[in-house]
Structure 1
Amino acid sequence: MEKLKKLLTKKILITFLFSHLVLLFLGGLFVTAGILAVFIASGDSENEGCPVNLTEEVAASSIEDQGKEKNAEEIYRYLTETEGATPQGATGVMGTMEFESHFDPTAENPSSGAYGLAQWLGSRKDALKAFAVKEKQEMSDLGTQLAFLSQELDDPAYKKAKKALKSSDISKAQKEWLLWYEGLSEDSSQWFLGQRNAMAKDWYAKFSTSDPAVSSAIENAAEDQSNATDCNKESPETGESDGNILKTAKSLTGYFHYSQPKRKKFGSVQAPDKNGFADCSSFVWLVLAKAGYKTPENVEWFTGSMSADAQGKKQYLTTISPKKGKAGDVIIVNQGSGAGNDGHTAILAESWHGLETKIIEQGGMQKQGVGEGQVDLSFGYLLKGGDLSIARPIKK
């Protein structure tokens, strides 16, 4: 019996010692891990530790679509930091990219099927899809498309386009990218250099003097036009919307045949030809010119350039919050380039109250002649991913 007691006592003692050794070992691991965690979290005063780098790695492979302004930030940052672009080179590229897709990674041309930021088409679109599958990301992911862009730039075929990123001239960078990345060196009819350069220069003005991540202009910009902030206050030249614009638009009800090629053949501003021709943007131009507002000479605008002006230089139009939209204001929606069938514009026939707001338009719902339409029915597919602006005309 005594022998059994000693044996049990010995076993208990061994078990006790073993369990404590295990606890001490685990405790050491936890302490070590804790020390490492504190060390990693503290980092040095310049870099604020490793978590920042880890976040950037994730952002480089997957970037959520956050709307035009925030997407522009990400694109500028990617081009300057990952591709080593100059501010002029990066914004030159962005001028072309905005014209193509308005920085919408889900933009898809309903006619050609061109897709994404750079409107990839055919075999390049297929390559983007395969790249996304390989990376286990969605084809529509902003970061995935930027990474795919980098992969394409490593191809010798795009050597000249890559040089555009290092340019010190915005317009030159924009054109070089257009020719050698977009592949339009043989088709000058698609260049639209004026519109693309205007967009590029607007982004340079925003990004060249400050870090886009903390730029107050970008922070305050409306990601969703329906929630626009006070940054879109009307300028002194615009004041309240003028009912004379709506009166002029309605006076042309039943006028014109719809035609893009003959869009300027509507007769004179003073005496329009009822049997003449116009498209949506030339009709709006005529209404504003006839009502005494600033317009570019010789009807030199379309929905893409109208939107760019309203959001940029504000020579003829200035964006306002949709909730401030009144009868006589202009609605513009672009998808892709904003040219041809990629955009539509009209005159508001009443105060803005959402997609059921009535409009006066040429085209849209109108099979023939100027008439009344409704935003959701007239703009249709353009509203899905399109860039919607409510703009107030500027008086002479």
Structure 2
Amino acid sequence: MNDKRPLEETVKKSELKKACTNCGAELKYKPGTTNISCEYCGHEETISIAESGFEELELYPFLQEMGSQKHSEEISMLHCKNCGADQHVEENYKSLHCVYCGQPLVIADAYKENWILPGAVLPFQIDKKQSFAIFKKWVNSLWFAPNNLKKASLDPQFTKGLYLPYWTFDAQLYASYTGQRGEYYYETKRVRNANGKMVTQQVRKTRWYPASGQVSGFVDDTLIKASHQKAGRIPGKIAFWDLKKLQPFNSGFLSGFVTEKYTIPLKDGHLHSKEVARDIATRWCMQDIGGDTQRVTSMDMKLSEETFKHILLPVYVSAYRYNGKEYNFFINGENGNISGTRPYSFWKIFFAVLLGLMVIGTIILLSKK
């Protein structure tokens, strides 16, 4: 049976626009609050937060493609033909540009796609005005930057608030291990120093003892990147968020911002999380072994009660092209940390070097008089 419902009836929750009751304009999320507000008349409404908190989803039913429909929905995606980024925008498409490369996006290029509904979102804590101030301070601090860089990096049309997708994994961890505990001791030896004299020196050595045991504990919120983020462009320097500020997902937090869809499947994210869990288990084993140094020669790790969430984390992105090259600047939307790549002005460097040579030449000439 064909579904002949009007298009308006098939639009999913995350794409619904909230209109201002006073003037009819679109309400957008106000960073640092739990409100959506109207940019025209100032009217505000509170975003309802689920009292039940986050819902941790059982991992294996999703990996086995069972039960996923309950927590998935259809959203419209815009695909950038220039750099390949897939973006969902919780606002009307007006003069929209790709957050990564700045190329225009066309509504005709939109397509529908299912995604696993986010379980939590860390809302933006700083607004675009504050991000401009951070950009300005950083850009003005750059030596030998082209003059037009300072203008472009602060142009609102090239700066977007972007929610990045991540997976988080929880699990009970159990591991049994065998290894060795090392304890240091010192022997006194006579050695010849750099001056050729014989001196006494303490030499550290290690006695090794066999060790074995079991460790267990809860691994909470292992954070795994859920998109390739355009060849890993999001700098590790800013990729730290306070996950205690996560809120249960509500599409109101996305209003006025771009959301990048995950491109790393849940299965691949889970495999990566197991590698992280193994590193955690190894550290626990070494702590359990004790001594001055440790070796883990074998370890059998098991994970149980595994759950996951799809979460969204905030950054501001400014894309800029200079002399045919692409540059990006990033600000953590929660704490304001900034990082980016930058071009250099050939002429500024040239004239600085020339001026330096002139100063050196003048000093040489004066010293000869």
- TM band (smaller chain): under 0.3
The one of the two structures with greater contact order (alpha-carbon pairs below 8 A, sep at least 6) is 2
TM-score (norm 1): 0.21
TM-score (norm 2): 0.22
Between Structure 1 and Structure 2, the one with more strand by share is 2
